[in-house]
Structure 1
Amino acid sequence: MITFANLALRFLLELCALASLGYWGFQTGSGWLVKWALGIGAPLLAAIVWGLFVSPKATYDIGDPARLAVEIAVFGAAAVSLYASGQTKLCIIFIAAAVINRIGLFIFKS
């Protein structure tokens, strides 16, 4: 049951990362074209990278250390995007949840 809850949290964190990157893009860009390019492009790029290297059915098996580095890069970009958008509290909550989730994944070997 705990493993299932931790995996559900993981999926929620992945969705939150995409949402935060999209939010940042729409808030950051100047002009509607740049806002749309960043708001759609940033989460799309993160989703592609995640699918290629991190997801359970990833296209490329790059090994655990490199996979962890890509995971940190995607979640880190999401946290930075929240902070840059002025969402400091959400940034802290996201980082804390991601760290707790990663510890849970390590402990329960999921």
Structure 2
Amino acid sequence: MWKAANLLLAFAVELVALGIFAWWGWATGGTTLVRLLLAIGLPLVGAVLWGLFAAPTANRGQLPRWIVKVLVFGLSGAALWSLGHPVLGVVFVVVVAANLAIIHTQKLQP
């Protein structure tokens, strides 16, 4: 049950990170077209990078996996901060870091 809960939390924070990218893109875009492009494009780029380098099935090595994870989650926290939610940004990054530490130490993923 512990393993399933941590893996579910990992998946949830990945989806939340993509949602934060969409929120930030919509909030920072000037015109409606730019807002739409950013709100759709940023999560799409994040998802593609995640799928190529950080997904459990990606076989690109550990260093690229961790670089993408740090970038995606770190930028998500920074985006929350820039949206005027610094406490939420810090809480998000702390939850992600704790979850990744548990997964890594317990070797819950391949």
Shorter-chain TM range is over 0.9
Amino acid paired to 2:25: G
CA distance in 2, matches of 1:51, 1:74: 12
Amino acid at match of 1:48: V
1:36 partner letter: L
- Secondary structure in 2 aligned to 1:102? helix
Question: Which residue in 2 is equivalent to 1:83?
Answer: 81
Residue 29 of structure 1 corresponds to: 29
2:93 counterpart SS class: helix
Q: Distance in 2 between matches of 1:64 and 1:35?
A: 34
Contact 2:54 2:64 in 1 (8 A): no
The structure whose RCO (Cα within 8 Å, separation 6+) is larger is 1
Q: Deviations over 1:55-104 (max 9, x none)?
A: 1122xx22112211111011111111111111212201110111100110
Q: Kindly report the root-mean-square deviation, in angstroms, between the aligned alpha carbons of the 2 structures.
A: 0.9
Q: Which AA in structure 2 matches 1:86?
A: G
TM-score, normalization: structure 1?
A: 0.93
The runs of 5 or more residues in structure 1 that have no matched partner are none
Paired amino acid for 2:65:
R
* Moved segments of 4+, more than 4 Å: none
- Any idea what SS the aligned residue of 1:62 has? coil
Number of the residue aligned with 2:65: 67
Q: How many residues were matched structurally?
A: 108
Q: Which moved more, 1:81-90 or 1:41-50?
A: 81-90
